[in-house]
Structures are given as structure tokens and as C-alpha cells.
Structure 1
């Protein structure tokens, strides 16, 4: 016998399947391992290299025996002894069947549809429709949810939407839905699947569709029973004789299909334009009242999945429309239209409130705007801007006859109030108790009648169509169109045009103090020391790059936030002094803040630890305290006269404190003169000298001028102590 084993194709193919399963499981590409050993790209490698890759790098992944590796090498060996590795890779990677390119063989079979129901004859379809309607009425009356009873069985049996006939009968009996043998057989015949199971998904969907139809069209009364809407009902004396428009108009038809039955006078469902208008009105309501939609629905969504039940969504929607200064009314059909628009397609019992929130808050901005930096956001959108007032008609869609009639009525009222000099605004304002610009229709008619403005009923109706909304008659709009516009003189318009051509308003020339930076800084330091203001906190927010420079406009905004009460000329002086020499239109706010902080401390104290900083003492001096040379001489003489009588003798301080009720250290000039008169000191000085003393020690407090008597008494004490007076 030969010493070698005969090579069989089946063994090689089995080895290739083993390799294919391993690399598909791990996501490996064989070309990456073999191409490294083939630098010349001739698709051939040596046998030792092939074995090193299979048994070395891929042994832990593929796990081939030595016999399988030898058979694989013998099969793909070329006559010169090398291995044709690209052929092996093609066999492994390119022999996968493409199932997506094949045509389906079972397309169109009825048992593929989970909602499929069987077809019955015309008579059986009518019977099954009536039977399903009775079952739906019973389920709606008892508030039963059918799906969980069937799903409990499916969790155990894994039947993919089907249950057995026996279990279907047990569930109906447990729910006390009593059926006869013929009715049950007809029900099974309609929903049977695969000859031994019942399609409960189609049964539950049919019941839900009937319940939704009955509830949406108002066919079920408050007791949960079907209303008798068919003709032939005998009206007895016990029933009220009300008009019945449905008699003679109801036609017999099937419950489901192309024809709708049970109520011919029902309104058609809301179209998409009406839903969009409702959404736009909600956006306008949210925009005006600055509401956040998520605040009204977030608490219902416990699992943060973005979906809540229909009842919870309606509750949140009611809270949303009732919130705000002006309530927004939504009718029941509008609410149902919104619910149907945002219903979850995977679960009809839930509503996607997150999608509703995104659509409503689109009036503020666009979601994920950071991904589209070039998008220009229009807030509010154009459709919200062009909304007609709530409760009013869209005047552009009103017929031409009503619009012409309204214009005639407006011209008639304008003619009467112009020629008779009538003022309608006080009359309307007397009726407007809440001062919101609206009155009722009856009050509008009463206002016209009281001023002898007689209009026909058609003209009144046309005016109501034009100026009425959900609040009432908007008399502001009406008076704007009716009242006589006062003509302005031509020279006023000429002056306005000349000012516009010349640019900004002419500014007053700066005074000496407005150009003196020392006076301005003293004014700022007095404010900072008195109110303990940290100026750098108001400036730092504008310096995003921490460059210690901000623009002039930002610097002016920071000064206005500090409330320094500076004039425009003083602000310009500060910007000029602390402006950056290298950056035009920029201000070195850090240098300005350091100059202001000198009122509390001194910079760079860490370099001079022995220096004791001196805090700035604010002064109340101003231009009105300035004394010239002659006035200073007269003041010196007057103070020397008064210093001859010190406070220890005259006790003038206690008398001045009695006049100072608020204990502010200042009294009025009249009280100051009374105090001097009581102590006999007014005879020492003349009236001119008294006025100079009041000017020297006076300051403005609000709109009044007062005298700082504490500084006056301190000056007298100093003069008396130094004995620099000349006795008379």
C-alpha cells in the first residue's frame, strides 16, 4: 500500500467551511495576513509561510489540525511548490450567497400579514359587523382593555400574535362576553389562522377601530349604549319634540368599508390646513406668554421615553392652553386632531409629546442649531406673524360684499364724527372696565346709539366681522380707522428732516469741570467709597479674551451699570484719558479700575510692606462752593468774629442738633440763621457775610440747599484753639 493518504475534495471543503465560520464570527480578513508575506504581489507564498500563518497567527482563532493544514496546502499548491493563497482567500470570502438579490418565493401569501382576516360572504360580513359592534359597545361600557388578556398567553406560547381556539373561548367567557355557538363559530371563521389558531391581533384591532369610531362621532350616549339613530322611531308624548335632521337621510350601509354608517350629519374630519392653523395658534400662545411646553408633560413621562398616554397628553394640553395672561380655547375636535397627529405609530394608546414639544417651540428657535451655524432663525415664523386674531375672521378670506359693507360703515361713522366733532374714545373707555381695549357687542351698539350713530344690522355685523375677536370688540383698531388724523404743521416735518440730514442731536459743549479728569475721578471715587462699588466686576464680563481692553460701547455700558450719573461729555473725557493708544475705539478698563481702586488701597503694597495706605475721603465740594479771593477774605473775617464766642460758652451745637431731625449733620439756611439768632451771634456778622458762610459750608441735598453745621463748628473750634482771631 502507498505510504501517503489519498486527497479527497470533501475533506478540503469541510476545512474551508471551518475557516469560513471562524473568520465570519471574528470579522477577520485573510488577505491582510497573507499580503504581508507577498511583497511582489504575485499571489504566491512559500509553504512554510503559509503554515506559519495558519498554525501561528490564526491557530487560536481557526484551530486546524496538522492533517487539515497539510490537506489545505496540498490542494492549493502550484507545480513549483508554493501556495496559491489568493485562490484560498477568494474561496473563503467571495463564495457567500447574496440572499438580497434573489426574488421572494412566498410574496403575497395571506398568512404573512399579522392583521389579516378572512373574507366572508356579504350576509356573513353584515352579521360579523353587528356582532363586533355589540362586543365593542360592551367593552367600552365596562372599560376593558383586551390586549393584556391575550398577551399573557403569548408570553408563554410564543405564537406571534395567535392563540388557540380553546384559549380564545376561555378569555371571552372570563370577560363575560357571552356568545352563542353560531356567533362564536362566525367569529372564529373570520379570524382563524393556520386552521387551528385565532388571530387575536386582528380581533383586538377591529374592536379598537369600532370604539374609536363610535366615540369620535358621538354615537354612544352617556350610559355607554348605542343611540337609536335609525328612522322609524315613534315619537311619543313623553319625549320632547325636537327637530330631528337625521330622519330621512340615513342610508343602510355596512359598518366598515368605503361608506360610513350610523350618522350622516357628522362633520368631516379636520383637514391638514386646520391642524396647521391650530398648531400656529398654539405657537402664538406659547410665544406671547413665554411658556415652556416640557413643563406641562415632563412629570407624566416617568421613564423619559418621550411618550405618554392619551389621557395624560390631554391633561397636559389643557394646562398649557389655560396657562398665561390670556387663556387659549381648544375645542374637542381640535384636541382629537392634535392627538391623532402626534399619536405613536407603534402604540396607538400613546402620544409622542417630545415631537409635539419640538414643533411648538420651533417658534422660539431651531433645534440643534449648533450643527447649522449659517442658518438664519426667524422668530417668530411668518405663519405665526400673519395669524388672524383669535375668535375673529381672516379678513382676506371674507367675501367681497361684507368687506365693501364694512368700508361703507367705517366711512359713514368717520363722516359723522368729523362733522359733528364727536369723541368716541371716552364713551368706549367708560365701558372698558379692565382697560384692555375691548368691549362687548351690546356695549358697542350702546355706544353708537348714545352718540346718535345709527347703523343697519348688516353694517353692524360687518363691523363685528372686522373688529371682533375672542375677547370682544377691539375699539382701539376701530378708532384708529375712524378718528380724524390731526395734521401736523409743515415746518415740524421740515425740522425733523433737517435733524435727520445733519445726523445726531447737537450736544452741548463740555464745561471746564466736564473736561477735568481729576474732578471726574473724585466724583467717581466719592460714589465708590459711599456705596462700596467694585467697578471691575461690571467690566470683566465684556472682556472674553482677558486682554484688559474692551470697546468704547462696552465700556459705556459698564459705566451705566455702575450708575455713576455721568454726562456724555464726562464719559468722553474718561474714554479719551484711558483709551488704548494701539487699539482705536478701545479702552484700557484695567487701568481705569486700578485708578478707582486707589480710593481704598494702594497698588503693589507687597513691595513696600511698611507703607500704610490712606483711604480716600469723599468731599461734597462742587462749583457752587467755589469762593474767589474777595469772598475768602470776607469769610476769614466773619469766622474770626464768630470764633470769639466758642461753643463752650454759647452751646450752639446742641441747638443746631435740635433743628437736625434726621441727624444728617446738615440744616437749612433758615434754621442755621435761627440758631445764630438765638445765641446772639447773628449780630456779629452782616447779611453778606452770612451768605458767604452758607455758600462755603453749603451743599445740595436733592433739590434743596443745606448747610453742613458740623464742618462749621469744627472750623470754629480750630480757630478758637489756635487763637488766630483778633478780639474786638
Structure 2
């Protein structure tokens, strides 16, 4: 047999032994060693040091001679004396002073005397019913609960808490009998410190329930509930009594005098299967655009993909709440989900990550990048066509009822159209929350006040089709009954306005819009005329100096330069100057270099003898284009006019007088007056004059003018050369 050897030479073990004894007995080593050092040198002899530990403190600390000798060797200085001050500081100064520490719990809700735990929505409803039941019993018996709990507090010195066993004994002694599930619910709500219950919060809840019932007149003079109070049967779980009349009610009883009860319209709710529950959650998430991950990730800080059962229940309750509508899941439905997604290795945890993946399939499919050829149809058709909760499937309804319902809908539609009846205001008066539902009695009252008389069979057929868990869905009913479209009073005016407001048809792409040479010539001419630096406009979109920008930014920068380009011309530029490495991006640096060739050429330092030629913009367009015959006529007309030189006629001064803005162009009327003033119109015919105006035409604003400077220059050249123009 092996025994553990005790190492007495361990100095720190000996110090811990002394420290624990001093902490237990509350001793101070300074009181024993300071009288032995009257000179206050901090050093004493070995004999004095060992006499304290082996003398008065031997029975308290219980050190052996070997341990005392080891301590003396450890704290001995060179001259043989013992450094006792260091020994006392190691032992006494390491004792924590709890009086100086602040409270760990200050200002938190745990210090609140009415603090209680949070429960799920379903458990809160059950607890409210249980508190109401206990409050009624306490009020009937005229009991005061607080003294029974305070008697235990006087003995145990607790602060507003009692043990679970004593809490159960007090309820049993007072005659308040609760079931095991109800008692566990109370413990879960008011438990504190894992073994005590906050009876102060429990008594406050009972008193608040009694005060509420007394304030609203729900109690009679004897303390019992009044008969007209709708919640008379107050219990956390209602008893399941047999219902022999279900399934054995005749049609005469339904359509006859007993139609008020309608047992067939309130069938026993059965728990839907798992697939239906998942689809209902998917439909709720799809309508409200919710992310399931947002409700669960705070409860899973380690990202394990699992939460506890209570946390899963709480998250489902939070998921059901929304600003648009609410989704209520019963306790059996939640238990069905827990069973399906329970962790196989831990029965107390639920795999919420798997639940999230199944619900998010209404938006898309996970890991779609692994199957790029898969066609995803979202949302699924089964989710969109999910039958409304609480209503009957129209496919499973009796064919006789279907035919009767269709005839009733047609009958109501004809009466509303002939009599011009508006049913929506009548239903809207009862629908205060505008949720599209009214009760069965309100539906009958609306039809009766509108003058639509229907039999009980017809009303029952309508309820079979339009009823759900919230009542009669009059939105769907009005969609079937009211006219679909009203013919406008001025049909012709409406059609004309539609034609006027219709978007313009796209213009066909011309050939010149596909020619990159013509497009660049247009841009260069605009740049030369207006002296625009395109680089200054495009550089602002390249924040990271990547020499590429997006197509939208490129188009925005060109528009800022006031270069009017069509969409087809932009597409041609995108195709020519598109970036090879970046998709949907433009190499604007290369585009700017091409445009800047209108002023200079790149890399002139390598060819110093080359003289750059500046681009000369042209004003040629479709308006001043001349065919062969017209050019022929224009050459003859210019030849006639060039016989009178400018030095003799002084035609330029006359045309400059008409050009008040000095823009270089005048109107055709002014051009005609100038030629007539110098007797030059006698040399040419009217047809030749029109062709000359067209050849030297220039579009300014919304009219065509004549470039008289080019016209005078052409006449000077012809007069100087004295040659005919080639045909």
C-alpha cells in the first residue's frame, strides 16, 4: 500500500497553514514579535523567533519543529538573525479586508424586493389564471398571507424569502390546494437563490389581483365572483369534459332554432402536423420580413447552434410578435417543434440553427453556391397557398354547400350593383381595429341593415367559406361581391390622358450612333469649342486611384461636361473603353488620353521633331448635308458671287451690323437683306440662295442660321484662286 509523503520543507505550505489559522482565530503576529524587538530594527534572534511559534502559538497553529526550522532558514539574514517583519507582512498583510470592498450587487433588480423571474407568454397566461384563483380563495376566507411568511422570517433571518418546502407547507396549512404543475409554475416565477422563494412578490401579486377585481366590481359582498363575470372558471388548466353532441348534430338542428350555438362551426382544435406548423412560421416570417437569427443569437454567445428548452420557447414567443400581425403558437405546437429539433446528445437543448435553416428556405436555399444550376422558386407555392387558420378547406366542403355559396355570392353582388349599396362602411363601423374581420352576429346585422335578406342556409354557406379563427373575413367577401371595375364618366378623356402620359417609345438606333469615330469627333469638337477638361470631372469618382470607374459614374461625369450623348452612343463607348480586368467598369484614363489628342499627342518627348496638329471641330450635320446635285448648284452660285470681291462690296461689315451678339451667324432673312443691299441677289436665283443657306447653315437654338464668316471666307478663296470648284 502506498502512502502520500508529506513534504514539511515546503515554505509556502507552512505559510498557508499559519495564514489559515490566523484567519480562523483572528490573531496578529505583530503583537507577539514587536515586544521582542525594543530597538525597532526589524531583526530578532533565532531563539526568540522560534520561541513564539513553539511556545504560545504552538497549540493554535500546530507547527512541527522541522517546519519552524525551515521558516527560520528562509527568513534568516547574513548575520544569523531572523527578518521577522518580512515574515509578519507575508502572513498578516495578505488577509483580505472585506469591510473595504463594495457590494457586488448594487442598484440591480435583484435587490428589488418585488423581483421575480420572466416566463414565456403561455406560462404568463397560466400564471395569471392561477394567481386569480388563489386571490379569490384568499378573499373568500378573509386571509392575510404576510404574517404566515413573516413568522418564518423571524426565525431564519431571511430578507423577504422562504424555502420552497416552507412555502408549500404554508399553502397547505391555509387550504390553498394547487396541483404539481401549478406549484412548479409558482416556483419558476418567484424562485430566488436557487432554493428560496420571494414571498413578498407573491403576496403583492395576490393583493394586486384582489384590488383589481374589487375596483372593477367583480366581487360580491361575500367575496365571491359575480355570475356575469366571463372568467368565472379560473384555473390554470380547464378540465377536459366529454362532448357527446359533437358529430351527432343533425342538419335540422344546425339550420333550425339551435343555429345560435353552431357546434359544427367550432370543431375541436387538433394539433397541426409539423409541416403545417413550419409553413405557418415561414408565412409569418415572409410577411413581416423577419430574421430568425436575430431572436436566437443573443442566447447562444458561444455559437454552438443550441439553446435550452426554455430559451427556445421564449424565442418563439418573441418571434410571434410583430408590428403588422401576430402569430400564436399553442403549447402542443411548441412541444412538437421541440421534439423535432431536440439535440440528440442533450435532451435539455434544442438545435435552433437547424430550425433557422428550415424556416429560411422560404427566402432561399442554403449553400446555393454548390449547386449553381438549381432553379429556386421562392417563396414556395405551399407557403403562399397555406389555408387560413381556423377555416375549413374549401376543397373538402360539401358540394351542395359550395353551390349554395356561389349562388348566394351572385345574389348579393346583383343586389349591391342594382341598388348601389356600399357594404364596406357598414362592416367598417364594427371593425374598430381595421383587421378585416367581424363577428358572425355583426355580419348578419350588416347584411340585414343593408336590405339584403338571406336565409339561414345561405348565411351558413357564406360562413363556411369566409370564416376563420378571427371571425368573418369581410375583406374577402367584399372582393367577391363588389364590382371589379367602374367605367369612368369620360372614357375618351381618360384614354387620351393615358396616351399623353405614356412613356415615349424608344428611338431606333442610327448607324452613326454605332460609329466610334463619329462619336469621338463629336466629343473632341465639344471639348475644343468649350475648352473642357474631362479628366477633372472623371477623376473625382476614382477615390482609390484605380484608373477605372463604374459605368454609372462615367455616364454621370460625361453628363456634367454637357456633352449630349444618346444611350446608344454610351453603349458604344462602354464597348470600346470597357475595362478588361473589371466587369461593368470603364478605363477612363484611356478614354481621356484619346480625347486629349484633340489638343496634343502623347509621348512627344520621344519625337521632338513632330508638330502636333490641333483638332478642328466641324459643324457638319444632317441639316447642312448636300447631295451631288445640290453641291453642283452651290458651286455655280458661289462662282457667280465671287466675281465681286469683298474689298469692293464690303459685305462683311453689313453682315456684322446684323450680328449684334458677334456669334458669327445671322438669320436667313438678315442674310438675304445683306446680299440684296449689295446687289448680289441679282446674280443668283431663289433656289440657289436656299442651297447656299443650307450649305452654310448652323443650328442655333431652335432655328437654322447662316455662318456668314465661312461664307465670306469661301468667296475670298474663290476670288483669289479664280478657279472653278470641282463638281
* TM-score scaled by length of structure 2: 0.40
* TM-score scaled by length of structure 1: 0.40
